[in-house]
Chain A
Amino acid sequence: MSKSDNDLSPAVSIVGLTKDFESMRAVNNINLNIARGLFYGFLGPNGAGKSTTIKMLTGLMSPTAGRIEILGIDFSKNPVEVKRQIGVVPENLALFDRLTASEYLNFVGRMYGLSREQAAKRTTELLEFMELTNNPRKLIVDFSHGMKKKVALAAALIHSPKVLFLDEPFEGVDAIASKTMKDMLQAMISHGATIFLTSHVLDIVEKLCTDISIINRGTIVAQGSIEELRAGVFANSEALAQASGKKLTLEELFIEIVGGRPQRSENLLSWLVE
């Protein structure tokens, strides 16, 4: 058992995380503490800084300032050890598309330190679970987008990570596969794993995640359980509080928190309905 398993440090701890690009600050001094065993949703409108944050958390981007700890291990000091503990389905995936799914999963498994036999066994099981066994000789480049997502998820799981980062994992995945994947992720949570999920499909987030944070213009604008967010919104909005007989959906909460619909001229896009 590694040191990180013994202590009670949070699964993900972020302090003062900041990322500057040439002329703009994409992520501005964010702080987060995600306890172990949570299914955590990380939401935000387009360009809010979600992908930048998840890239920094997984080692695909270096922060301008701030500290990241995963399972109590400092990312900047021991990136290899952190990477050993996490699984990632990044934005636009990260597949060697001229390999077959089986070859790719074997490759990833071995890279995470599994023996050849272990990697082969887990690959077979994952491919069966993801229903990717129909054409074992097919290269990933010929897969549909949904199938590629499944391969990417299988690759993120093959070493049974303690923390899983998923960037839009259900995008393009059919309903049946999506249900199978969700069930599997829930099972992982029940066994103590932590999942950090970003998605624009708020229905899925609402069903899966216990805790949420919302980022807007590089800053965390709300965080807590969905009930806590509801309470926060009600406290800020008298009108909504008056109508509290109706339970707000996550989508309504989200719109309320990130600033709602902007006022636009009535004539805007009028040519489209002429």
Chain B
Amino acid sequence: MEKLTLIFNLQWLLFKNSLRSQTSKIELIGRIIFFIGSAIVDVGIAVVLFIATLSLYNRPNANTGFILLFSAITLYWQMMPLLTASFGGGLSISNFRRYPVSDNDLLLLDLISGATDITSLSIYLPLLGIFIASVILNPFYSPIIIIIFLLFILFNIALSRYLQRVIEKLLAHRRIKEFLVFIAMLFLLSFSIIPILVFRQEIKEKHTKQVSPKEQTIKTLPKFSLKEKLPSSQQVVQVLSWSPPGLVGRSVINLPKESFIKQLLMVFLSILFSGLIILLVKRKINYEFYGSEAKFLLANETTANNSNANISRDFSHIIFDNKLMNLLPLHSVMIFEKEIKYFYRSSKTLLIFITGTMSTVFFPFIFQAQRPTENSSFFAQFMLPGLNFYSLMILGQFFANSFGFDSHGVKTFFLMPTEGKNVLLGKNLAVALITLLQTTFTAILFHYLVYPINSYILLNTIFCSTIALLAYIILGNFLSIFYPQKMDFSTLSDTNYSKMGLLLLALMQGFVFCMLAVAPVLAWYSKLAWITFPVFAIELIVILSLYKISLKYAGKFFEKRVEEFLQTLL
């Protein structure tokens, strides 16, 4: 315990000393604002869940509803850290391996780190809302409810820590990493494809009723019905009801209806599940410290890196030996090339990319049930531009901290005979290429899953994406210079995006959205669809000029802030 106190004291000292610079103080303000904003949203969700729990008390399917709700919470708890590539709260137990700290202390430290992770923190208040309502409904059973709720929290924290270790280990293998990326892509597609297969008939019927003869030409759905082959929802709920989320879901309303034996069994199973996962985490920590796993990880990291270098050799020439590149400053092209190599050699950047794409693929699934027809709103034609705008929001992580991965390499930019604006242009080109890839991918999926894209939609999408991209890059360049955050390249933990940067980016998103909305609103109001083009064209010219001016100033700032930059990133 004494050592744990020392470690927490160390964290406090690190935090306190990190506030010495002006940038860190501003960053702290950003974090506080971010935290308050998140807390307000969380309180809102907690209140809604509290009221919903009270009002659902006598509903026939309430129990099933809660089982599914807690299953969703578990899924969120486990998936969010992966999707945001942010498992840890900055406290890595690997730093304390060299000291004589016991396994139990390390385990405790790891669990505390998981409990203070941003995902966990975002779940506590909504859980509290349900818990209070549940205790009000069944005060006599409150001790059991408390135990089951606490064990549910413990189970999820331990499971997320365990999954983090498993995934980090898997990502050390190049082949497994590639396989996981492939699986992730399939998973993304499944959001859209599985519902089509499962609800084929319903969608077809709805579509036949709604669409005009012209739209009947849209590709018909396959006749095969997967729905009949899948287990029924009742069977799924039955199985889930004995899982950790199911147990806590049942305890919310249904506890008095269960027999005493079942109540005991529920508590026992909750203890068992949590205990098992904690044992697994402990075993994993032991292996990493004393077993062969540490060596295994190092060996495979090397193999993975070597093989990755191999991947890079050929296709980069297709992009960078292109004559178009001669139109750009040589230094920017070289930096662009380096950025692209860095992009696909990092599991973390790939995950950010997948996250963005995943989010955009999820929406076609929602939209596909409401395919726009001739009678649909004019604004339905702006679904794709809207989706691309959304995906750019996700990619904001690339814009807002573009030097995060460079580590000591960032010094190279200051030692080379080049100007800051060339460095930024190279970085911006890389982000533009990544955006182009994501936009294309989203557009293809949209074309097949939602509705065929015509030239009007395509042109508007190109305009919207370019304008939004330039706007983000303008702000992103300044954020990258004024709020740089060091990023760990090789692990999934320790994501350190500047909260102040994210806040400013969020404000920028609101501004860009309003700016982009002008053209469609004008077209709808005037009933002249073509009017979007001149409006977007004017906006594009304005934003391009702004980009050119801002690049010059951002470049100068970059050169002048060399000391602050190196201090933060090294």
Q: Chain A residues in contact with chain B, CB under 8 A?
A: 58-62, 79-84, 88, 90, 92-100, 103, 107-108, 110-113, 135, 137-139, 141-142
Contact = CB atoms under 8 A, between A and B. Distances in A.
Contact of A107 (B337, B415, B490): B337
Interface residues of B, number: 40
Contacts of A100: 309
A58 B331 CA distance: 19
A137 B408 contact: no
Interface stretch (B211-219, B372-380, B416-424): B416-424
Contacts of A93: 408
Nearest to A138: B306
A94 B411 contact: yes
A95 B563 CA distance: 18
9 contacts: A59-B414, A90-B411, A94-B411, A94-B415, A111-B334, A111-B416, A112-B417, A113-B330, A142-B305
A99 B306 contact: no
Interface in B342-361: 342, 345-346
B409 interface: yes
Contacts of A135: 306
A112 B418 CA distance: 8
Contacts of B414: 59-60
Contact of A111 (B309, B331, B405): B331
A90 B415 contact: yes
Nearest to B415: A88
Given A107-B337, A137-B310, A94 B409 contact: yes
Given A84-B417, A98-B489, A113-B417, A139 B411 contact: no
Which of B342, B415, B559, B566 gathers most chain A CB within 10 Å?
Answer: B415
A96 B418 contact: no
B570 A103 contact: no
B417 A139 contact: no
B560 interface: yes
A99 B341 contact: yes
A84 B416 CA distance: 7
A108 B406 CA distance: 15
A112 B415 CA distance: 10
B287 to A, nearest CB: 23
B309 A62 contact: no
Contacts of A92: 408, 570
Given A137-B306, A137-B310, A97 B417 contact: no
Given A94-B409, A98-B341, A142-B305, A80 B417 contact: yes
A139 B305 contact: yes
A62 B306 contact: no
B302 A142 contact: yes
B319 to A, nearest CB: 14
Nearest to B309: A137
A18 to B, nearest CB: 15
Given A94-B412, A138-B306, A141-B305, 11 more contacts: A59-B414, A61-B562, A81-B417, A95-B408, A96-B412, A97-B407, A103-B312, A108-B416, A111-B417, A139-B345, A142-B301
Nearest to A92: B408
A84 B407 CA distance: 23
B370 interface: no
B206 interface: no
B172 to A, nearest CB: 13
A90 B330 CA distance: 24
B305 A138 contact: yes
Interface in B284-338: 301-302, 305-310, 312, 330-331, 334, 337-338
A90 B467 CA distance: 40
Nearest to B570: A92
Nearest to A90: B411
B345 A98 contact: yes
A99 B313 CA distance: 11
